[in-house]
Structure 1
Amino acid sequence: MITTGEAARLLGVSQPTLNRAVRRGRLRPTLTTPGGHRRFDSAELSAALYFEGPE
């Protein structure tokens, strides 16, 4: 599991862009902690980038 910041760096986007993609339903966090922090699976993010391509 990786943090929002790490996920943004992996995808080559800013954190606000990643958060916007989550709000719009384009990406889904693998886990949301009780404190509301999102965690992502790096393999799933890589697959999403492969299928959708960079924006």
Structure 2
Amino acid sequence: MAALLTTSELAKALGLSLRSVQRYIAKAQITPALTAPGGHHRWDLDDVHTQLRELRQRTNEE
């Protein structure tokens, strides 16, 4: 299993601003691999790529 990323690390890896990633989270368009008891998310980059690809496909179909 690949190392899980913090939300800031995820934003950097995706080339997005932290605020953009936070918007995706707020709209439940991406879901974390893990949420710690304190509410901090951890992300699997490959999984997020898949989620974003599926989101684009759904958006294009609408």
TM-score, length-scaled by structure 1: 0.78
Can you list the C-alpha shifts for 1:32-53, whole angstroms capped at 9, x where unaligned?
A: 101110100011123334453x
What is the RMSD of the two structures over their aligned residues, measured on CA atoms?
Answer: 1.6
Aligned length: 53
Aligned position for 2:42: 39
Structure having greater relative contact order (Cα 8 Å, sep ≥ 6): 1
Identity of aligned residues (%): 35
Structure 2 gaps, min length 5: 57-62
Larger Rg: 2
Q: Distance in 1 between matches of 2:52 and 2:22?
A: 15
**What 5-or-longer segments of structure 1 have no aligned partner?**
none
